[in-house]
Amino acid sequence: MELWTSATPNGWKVSIMIEELIEAGIDMSHVKVRHINLAKGEQFSKEFSERNPNQKIPVLVDNEISVMESCAILHYLGEKYPTELLPVGKLKWEVIPWVYWQAANVGPAFGNKLSYTRYMDAISPEKKAHPLERFGKEAIRLVTILNDQLKEQPWLAGNTFTIADIALYPWLRAWKWSKVDITPYPLVMSWIENVRERPGVGRGVAYGVPEGELDQWSEERKAEYRKNGSIIANPGN
Ligand SMILES: N[C@@H](CCC(=O)N[C@@H](CS)C(=O)NCC(=O)O)C(=O)O
């Protein structure tokens, strides 16, 4: 099995999943990680596009099966290797809708907010004002939904840590980088801390990141992310 990925939020969802499966006692030593250089446009190569016509990481290649979309990969791995990360029966349907919620709402809102905040350097501040307001407001609305959800239970989809939490974490942990102020939401802040403390999560977000820079990137790394993000956000420039 191969994971084609990069050190980005959507990539980390899957590397966290692999490490959480290892924590759950599953042997994942057959998984090979292949780093895709997005700034160099490797996602547009013929080989990559054949595996993922949408030309974005991550992709999971499991012999003749290729799975695109990070949340579909979480679902695939959750079914292939049954653990509490994806419960079965009725409980599964408390988890799956939140995974879709992340994919359809949180990823796009936080991703766009991040992009206009950090990367869209070819766009004037006047033109950026509207998308920044729109995606910033939507990101906060989603944070309030999460905060309400956490009033009743410790994890996004119930009393157990699941693929719904895995899908959400890489975007939420980057709130400072996206400039989405979550500090008025203490339940969200403590959820981030609780997820962060999990050993599998710690190893998962380390894919493609030097040791010691997991939560506090060096200025060099921030500059590299800004540069790479801008190349991806401004193709052709
Ligand atoms: N909905 C997709 C989004 C994937 C995505 O946007 N991947 C980004 C990195 S986080 C990417 O490959 N960007 C390269 C590009 O846009 O050219 C998923 O969840 O897998």
How far apart are alpha carbons 179 and 109 in whole angstroms? 12
Residue nearest to atom 14 of ligand 1 (CA): 56
| CB of 115 closer than 8 Å to CB of 230 | no
Cα 38 to its chain centre, rounded Å, is 16
**What domains appear along the chain, each with residue ranges and CATH number?**
2-80 (3.40.30.10), 89-204 (1.20.1050.10)
pLDDT tens across 153-207, in order? 999 999 999 999 999 999 999 999 999 999 999 999 999 999 999 999 999 999 8
Distance 81 CA to ligand 1 centre (A): 25
Q: Which parts of the chain have pLDDT scores under 50? A: none
| CB of 42 closer than 8 Å to CB of 36 | yes
Distance 8 CA to ligand 1 centre (A): 8
Query: CA nearest 189: which of 228, 231, 146?
Result: 146
Cβ-count burial 64-95 (b if 16+ within 10 Å, e if not): eeebbbbbebbbbbbeebebebbbeeebeebb
Write down the pTM of the prediction: 0.94
